[in-house]
Amino acid sequence: MSTPPAAGTPARPGRVVVVGSVNVDRVHRLAALPAPGETVLARGMTLGPGGKGANQAAAARRAGADVALVGRVGADGEGAAYRARLDGLGVDTAHLVTDPDAPTGSATILVDEGGENSIVVVTGANGAVDGSDVAGAEAVLAAADVVLTQLEVPLDAVAALLDAVAPTRARLVVNASPVPDDALGRERLAELLGRLGPDDVVVVNEVEAAQLGLAADDPRTCTTLGAAGARWAGAVVPSPRVEPVDTTGAGDTFAGTLAAALARGADRAAALTTAVDAAARSTEWAGAQPWGFPA
User: How many CB atoms lie under 10 A from the CB of residue 119?
Assistant: 17
DSSP the chain: ---PPPTTSPP---EEEEE---EEEEEEE-SSPPPTT-----SEEEEEEE-HHHHHHHHHHHTT-EEEEEEEEESSHHHHHHHHHHHHHT-B-TTEEEETTSPPEEEEEEE-TTS-EEEEEE-GGGGG--HHHHHHTHHHHHT-SEEEE-SSS-HHHHHHHHHHHTTSSPEEEEE--SPPSSHHHHHHHHHHHTT--TT-EEEEEHHHHHHHT--TT-TTEEEE-GGG-EEETTEEEPPPP---S--TTHHHHHHHHHHHHHHTT--HHHHHHHHHHHHHHHTTSSSSS-TT---
54 near 92, Cβ under 8 Å? no
> Catalytic one among 87, 252, 267, 277?
252
Q: What angle do CA 210, 216, 219 make, to 5 degrees?
A: 130
d(CA 18, CA 202): 14
* Distance, CA of 13 to CA of 175 (rounded, Å): 22
Decide if 252 is catalytic: yes
Catalytic annotation, residues: 252
